A and B are shown apart, each in its own frame.
Chain A
Amino acid sequence: MKLPQSALLERASFDTLLDALRRRGFKVVGPVIQDEAIVYDTVTASADLPVGWTDEQDGGHYRLKRRKDEALFGYAVGPHSWKKYLHPANLKLWDATRDAGAALRFEEGDTEKPPKLAFLGVRSCELRAIAIQDKVFMGSAFTDEHYRKRRERIFTIAVNCGTAGGTCFCVSMKTGPKVTGDVAFDLALTELLEESGHYFLITAGSEAGAEILKELPTRPATPEDLATADAVVDRTAQNMGREMPAEGLPKVLLENLEHPRWDDVAERCLSCANCTMACPTCFCTTVEDTTDLTGDHAERWRRWDSCFTLDFTYMHGGSVQQSARSRYRQWMTHKLATWHEQFGSSGCVGCGRCITWCPVGIDLTEEAAAICTVENSNTATNISEPASRDPSP
């Protein structure tokens, strides 16, 4: 297989890509505007995309704004992530029936064949997030069949980011903004808004992607086109909204489990769980058991859960993590430190969702930096003074 193959597709021909996917039985899902935010839902034509829109993001802040052009992908990531398709927020695990003779029968609850979905507009950080959840659900002794059967039917059309969001920090996490060959995708797009026209550089990342690429009305990409596309991503990389302290973060965090900054962040954290719902790698779930009115039919549902809830660690006698301090610490040390030991990478991809969608604007990068810079400093006096939250560019 000769990869990558690249070609140019005019904006005016963009819908031929959607047609090619539909011909193969894929339902295309991607960014659309709903409730004044860019979320993921069904896309039937390029006109469904947030054409000419961008987003303004900061800690606890998200607004849509018009762009001066008609870009299809001129924004960063929104509150949704692709996990809503691969790891549904609600899933029936099984049905149980109690017969007249008191016999008990269990039946698998998630029996439907999942749809063939084409994910349109997957960012580099999001490809990494999917790869991380692959490890969680398919990388250990047990495989989550509910995840696997959805995952194996996905076609991914990635997009190199042309705009950095105000809370993005993929550069410091080494997860973007450019889609690179060490993470799986089928096609990758770079949107080019040049004086010479509005077009896309398309690169195939798989056989299936290459096959579709051949069918599209493309023209060959010149070395200049490739350089122009690289320049777009380079510009994005230079405009990151945030930065995560890079070196030795897992060790620093685990050596500072009693750092006073945890008390400080607990004063601000509402334990609302928004960060974990928006996070593309957070995978925790709980189960809910229900019965119908006859009392002879029970169901078990699995739904997203969050380590920020008091119930999460409940055992006989109470919860292990009673304080907001301990729950924030659990989330952050898991995401940035112990995740390495469990799954061989950070649990953070630098997408910035947890910062944008935190109602009080708690900034993960700022909290990590605070613990790094005043390491082990129980005598520091000014650490409760939050650093500036202005985005850097």
Chain B
Amino acid sequence: MSASLPNTMPGLPAAPLVPEPWQVAARREETADTFTLTLQPTGEAEPMRFQPGQFNMLYAFGTGESAISISGDPSEGSSGLIHTVRRVGYVTSALARLSPGDMVGVRGPFGSAWPMEDARGRDLIFMAGGIGLAPLRPAIYHALNHRADYGRIIILTGARTPEDALYLAEQETWREQDGVEGHLTVDRAETPWTHNVGVVTTLVPKACFDPANAVAMICGPEIMMRYSAMELRKSGLTDNRIYVTMERNMKCAVAFCGHCQLGPEFICKDGPVYRFDRIRFWFSQREF
């Protein structure tokens, strides 16, 4: 369905199936199973321009490729191409073994973006579950870089335990900024924890926003996104102001391989970011 919002693919890669070599410039441990790679182009290659919400296909030499959302600052002149990756399979485990100086293959950027343009003038609600904060971070950066364009900024994040919470220090710097309200929660805390305990949806009533003039962007497991959307609806947000980002198996990222289909959607091309009312039907179908 080409009608999906928002805009897709600003600069189409010329040979979209062949990766470009990039070099690992920095590597940072985030949590026990999550790490962040900063990549630099090699040779004459230009830095990558992307929109918040888009993803790349990262290739670990000799192992394979994974679709990974870009989690760095989208503004021009920002340094390096940043991906935060959770180690869950053999490709991401191979990526986890990389250190500065190593090379990876990169194809992209692909897919649709968070609605930063349509959200201008409105309150922004970011809701993240676990590593779901990584694909949202470029949108948060964009909002903070263009502070005057938006109303209140609400950042609601959840994790399984305090040890699993992503970008903790950075979240604190966001919260310290004027007009930014942040709440954190974990499912369970066995270590000292000054924030909330409970599912991320319980944070919605704590937040102060104008439901008639707000846009929500949600990233997390499908069940978390579904309940988050329900909770936001209770607060007065309509489904056409709620955006989610979807995930499926991807081989090609350009709608040729068929793997990422969800009903009529090619998640790689029409998504991954969807306005909730356009994907809601397929959200509730089991095994699609």
Name A residues whose Cβ lies closer than 8 Å to a Cβ of B: 93-94, 96, 98, 102-108, 136-137, 140-142, 144-145, 254, 257, 283-287, 289, 291, 295, 298, 302, 305, 307, 312-317, 320-323, 325-326, 329-330, 333-334, 338, 341-342
- The docked-state distance in angstroms from the alpha carbon of A52 to that of B74 is 67
B264 near A338 (CB under 8 angstroms)? yes
Q: Closest Cβ of chain A: how far from B59's Cβ, in Å?
A: 8
Sample of 5 A–B contacts (CB below 8 Å): A142-B12, A145-B15, A286-B251, A287-B65, A291-B62
Closest to A307 in B: B258
- Given A305-B258, A341-B1, A342-B264: A106 touches B61 (CB 8 Å cut-off): no
Stretch binding the partner chain, chosen from B17-25, B146-154, B202-210, B211-219: B17-25
Stretch binding the partner chain, chosen from B99-107, B161-169, B235-243: B99-107
Within 8 A of A (CB), among B1-30: 1-2, 8-9, 12, 15-21
Q: Closest Cβ of chain A: how far from B251's Cβ, in Å?
A: 5
Closest to A319 in B: B249
Closest to A144 in B: B256
Q: Which residues of B are found within 8 Å of A338, using beta-carbon distances? A: 261, 263-264
B231 interfacial by beta-carbon distance below 8 Å: no
A313 near B62 (CB under 8 angstroms)? no
Q: Which residues of B are found within 8 Å of A314, using beta-carbon distances? A: 249
Closest to B9 in A: A141
Q: Which residues of B are found within 8 Å of A284, using beta-carbon distances? A: 257-259
- The docked-state distance in angstroms from the alpha carbon of A326 to that of B262 is 12
Q: Closest Cβ of chain A: how far from B51's Cβ, in Å?
A: 15
Q: Which residues of A are found within 8 Å of B16, using beta-carbon distances? A: 142
Q: Dominant SS at the B interface?
A: loop
Q: Which residues of A are found within 8 Å of B255, using beta-carbon distances? A: 140-142
- The docked-state distance in angstroms from the alpha carbon of A137 to that of B256 is 7
Closest to A289 in B: B64
- The listed residue with most A CB atoms (<10 A of its CB), out of B12, B15, B17, B42, is B17
A105 near B249 (CB under 8 angstroms)? no
Q: Closest Cβ of chain A: how far from B157's Cβ, in Å?
A: 20
Q: Which residues of B are found within 8 Å of A137, using beta-carbon distances? A: 256
Q: Which residues of A are found within 8 Å of B88, using beta-carbon distances? A: 316-317
Question: How extensive is the interface on chain B, given as a class?
Answer: 35 or more
Q: Which residues of B are found within 8 Å of A94, using beta-carbon distances? A: 17-19
B18 near A315 (CB under 8 angstroms)? no
A320 near B285 (CB under 8 angstroms)? no
Which of A106, A142, A254, A342 lies in contact with B21, CB distance below 8 A? A106
Closest to B285 in A: A257
State the 5 A-B residue pairs at the shortest beta-carbon distance, nearest first.
A284-B258, A326-B287, A316-B88, A341-B264, A338-B264
Q: Which residues of A are found within 8 Å of B288, using beta-carbon distances? A: 257, 320-321, 326, 330
A312 near B259 (CB under 8 angstroms)? yes
B21 near A105 (CB under 8 angstroms)? yes
Closest to A334 in B: B261
Q: Closest Cβ of chain A: how far from B63's Cβ, in Å?
A: 7
B137 interfacial by beta-carbon distance below 8 Å: no
Which of B2, B101, B249 lies in contact with A315, CB distance below 8 A? B249
B89 interfacial by beta-carbon distance below 8 Å: yes
Q: Which residues of A are found within 8 Å of B64, using beta-carbon distances? A: 287, 289
- Given A316-B89, A341-B264: A96 touches B257 (CB 8 Å cut-off): no
A108 near B251 (CB under 8 angstroms)? no
B247 interfacial by beta-carbon distance below 8 Å: yes
- The docked-state distance in angstroms from the alpha carbon of A295 to that of B247 is 31
B105 near A283 (CB under 8 angstroms)? no
Q: Closest Cβ of chain B: how far from A323's Cβ, in Å?
A: 6
- The docked-state distance in angstroms from the alpha carbon of A106 to that of B107 is 11
Q: Which residues of A are found within 8 Å of B1, using beta-carbon distances? A: 341-342
Q: Which residues of A are found within 8 Å of B2, using beta-carbon distances? A: 140
A96 near B259 (CB under 8 angstroms)? no
Q: Closest Cβ of chain A: how far from B191's Cβ, in Å?
A: 26
B248 interfacial by beta-carbon distance below 8 Å: yes
Q: Closest Cβ of chain B: how far from A180's Cβ, in Å?
A: 27
A320 near B61 (CB under 8 angstroms)? no
Which of B8, B105, B247 lies in contact with A96, CB distance below 8 A? B105
Q: Which residues of A are found within 8 Å of B224, using beta-carbon distances? A: none
Q: Closest Cβ of chain B: how far from A257's Cβ, in Å?
A: 6
Which of A98, A104, A145, A287 lies in contact with B251, CB distance below 8 A? A287
Q: Closest Cβ of chain B: how far from A258's Cβ, in Å?
A: 8
- The docked-state distance in angstroms from the alpha carbon of A330 to that of B269 is 19
- The docked-state distance in angstroms from the alpha carbon of A162 to that of B2 is 40
- Given A287-B251, A295-B62: A322 touches B287 (CB 8 Å cut-off): yes
Q: Which residues of B are found within 8 Å of A145, using beta-carbon distances? A: 15
Q: Which residues of A are found within 8 Å of B256, using beta-carbon distances? A: 136-137, 142, 144, 283, 285
9 new A-B contacts, CB < 8 A, other than A285-B252, A338-B261, are A96-B19, A96-B61, A96-B105, A257-B285, A286-B251, A291-B62, A317-B88, A326-B288, A330-B288
Closest to B92 in A: A316
Question: Please, what's the 1-or-0 string for B123-143, where 1 marks a CB less than 8 Å from any CB in chain A?
Answer: 000000000000000000000
Q: Which residues of A are found within 8 Å of B89, using beta-carbon distances? A: 316
B254 near A103 (CB under 8 angstroms)? no
A98 near B61 (CB under 8 angstroms)? yes
B55 interfacial by beta-carbon distance below 8 Å: no
- The docked-state distance in angstroms from the alpha carbon of A295 to that of B63 is 11
B103 near A103 (CB under 8 angstroms)? yes
Q: Which residues of A are found within 8 Å of B276, using beta-carbon distances? A: none
- The docked-state distance in angstroms from the alpha carbon of A298 to that of B65 is 13
- The docked-state distance in angstroms from the alpha carbon of A283 to that of B266 is 13
Closest to B104 in A: A104
- The docked-state distance in angstroms from the alpha carbon of A187 to that of B42 is 51
B62 near A289 (CB under 8 angstroms)? yes
